[in-house]
Structure 1
Amino acid sequence: MLTELSIRDFAIIDEVSITFNEGLTVLTGETGAGKSIIIDAVQLLAGGRGSIDYVRHGAKKAEIEGLFTIDNKNHPIYHVGSQYGIEIPGEQLVLQRTITANGKSICRVNSKLVTLAILKEFGKKLIDIHSQHETQSLMDPENHIELLDMYDPEPISKAKEEYTDLFNKLSSLKARYKKFSENEQEMAHRLDLLQFQMKELEQANLVPNEDDDLEEERTSLANYEKIHHALQDAYNALYGEQKGLEWLNQAQLALQDSSSYDPFIAQKAEEVSSNYFVLEELTYDLRNHIESLQYSPDRLNEIESRLNEINRLKKKYGATVNDILEYMAKIEEEIEEITNKDSHLSHLAQQINETAKDVYLEAKQLHDIRRKASESLMKAIHEELKELYLEKASFSISFDHKQNEQAIHDDDYMSIDLHKNGFDRIRFLISTNTGEPLKPLNKVASGGELSRIMLVLKNIFAKHQGVTSVIFDEVDTGVSGRVAQAMAEKIFQISSDSQVLCITHLPQVAAMADTHKFIEKREGKNRTATIVSELPMEDQVEELSRMITGTELTDTAKEHGRELLDLASIFKKNKDKNNKKSRY
């Protein structure tokens, strides 16, 4: 969840630091106080598009920083961190965004500089922002298939993994077929190039690890004098009269003379004797190596010439000799394939046909699992819609597929277009009034209806999406009365699976808050600044009263405010009891 949010020199915000808690946090205040500006800051933190207009007038830059706590070890954010080499120690992640007055955007994740695209990858796993005027992921038909798969993940995950492996294999085979189906002139040019390269590499007569071996030999020859002096000095220090071995031998004899008198001396005499023979053997090795050393200027020149030739080839074919030899094996295979193009294409076509059958069968299995899951999901959504007084609404999941225009014949596995998720093309459809046809979600006209539909989908998918913080920016616009109360209860339900931050003008929603933040503008030093404060119980009553009546706080309004808080408290207790019962 979002634990801390720090904003500096952003729009009308001078500097503010906000602590957020689990559950439902509501943000209220007068229009223009800066509530939506705070959400804008969070959106930028999640990788949204920036602008110099966000930089506070007179400031050099706007800075936003958010601390997220992730206590679920299986949260997808850890995979994203691993993908980009960013550690997430202590279950904490810090996102930072800076926008300078000249338009530059600087992004960091746990103090590591990242691109805006990478920041967005982190942001979409942590934050889901929904406002009345924005089309979010749930509204985009491209995401509906992923949402359906998330709704019932266990039976589909294995089938999807098997399908993906086969689909990738099929895509690779098709790419190779296309490559070898290119026009004759291009293939002839390609063959000429490969044959030229092969001839050049064959003439080089490269040996595995040859570059490393030559570099080692060159270093030895180039430093012959240093190596010889070092070996000779070491040998002279150990061997000869009054040298190391002779003194060590004297120590050995001294200890052996008294070894029978003391166990300690006997032990040390044995150790010294053992070390003496080791050093004596080492001395012989030094002498033999000195005698084997030979300096050959001709051999050094020969090595330099060979390395120059190898380095020339490295610039063209690979970083090491072994890489070059690998490349040589690949082009040898490609030459054989081009030379025998017709038979190779025939073999590839057979492989594509056989693999396509297997891919289609896996896609069909995915389709059957999704069909079953869709029935359960539609039932769940209809139940949720009733709770929001959309009992006449009808929700459906549309399954479709696209024909493969390049198919040669009408077999199912060749005529249906396959994609990374199978052949299904899924859309969520809804009709909110009896007799009206089903339409895509983004075609629903009423803002109030759209808000309720979005809440239903959010409530169902919140636990499956893994998003730590769900943010609602005035999604309750256009509703009132019993619908407002139902939406308040639904928003609270979502907060049981994800942290929810909600900007609202409805007292029913505000009364449901676990934490109530009040946003206001204050003037000082000829500047306007946004202030955020957390309301205690009595101040909550006054804020709810203001939301009910407007500016004048009457005793009746205060009574209504207290009553809303009491009703919200009763609802929460009952909800908690029901949740406990459902666990047993």
Structure 2
Amino acid sequence: MIRKIILTDFMAHASTEIELGPGLTVLTGPNNSGKSAVVEALRCLAVNPTPKYFIRHGAKEARVEAVFDDGARLAWVRREKYALYELTRPGADAPEVYAKFGRKPPEQVQDLLRLSLVELDDASEVREIDVHLGNQREPIFLLNKPKTVMASFFASTTESAHLIKMQALLKNRLNKAKAEEKDLAARLAGFESRLDRLAPLPGVCLRLERLREGLTELRAGESRAEALEDAAGALAHAAAGFHRQAAEARVYAPLTAPPALRDVAALRGLVLELG
């Protein structure tokens, strides 16, 4: 089992080392970050494709190396005019180099990787099927192939019933995904309709803010009115006192002043003398 993948000057990868987990390993990242290149690297290791564009710009060769759990190492090296394999077995000091092997990888490489293409038995246009590595530019496995190709493939495997079941499961998942997509599209349309109904909301918020400002001014006016009411009450009280005092003045107006007091000291002396 492959435990580590090392890419050197391969497509977008100048030097990349990926440790594979014991279960499922998932590569995540933005577009054009080199995720698909990792899958293509495994494809190069397994089937030795001919294109030269795998070599990173400015480099002389591209190298894809797999490290297995038993310590074996397998490297695919692509140069301008040819490709070669380097197989380092566990405990070996130097690799075994396979440089002249034709189109297909050497048997030693196929036996180690166990990622070979499945050969079809009939004369179909598609002679081989890759059951290990998917292609992101093609639909789900076998769904875009003619029925004859599908039948030939199922006939060429000892697990045809299992594969047919898997194909049916994939179709069901595809139909379910389409139904979910349709449902999500309908829900999205509903959300858009609701958002359209909320279009007047900014104007409502503006009017509400103006009402709040008017309410503040109204409360300030009420405070001023209360102050004026208190002042008016005080003025009315003062006016009432004034009118009351004026009425009293009119009552006392006809009265004359009392006579002036005379000096009675001499009279007192006379009384004493007579008495």
- Give TM-score, length-normalised by structure 1: 0.23
Report 1 or 2 for greater relative contact order, CA contacts < 8 Å, sequence distance ≥ 6: 1
**Higher helix content, 1 or 2:** 1
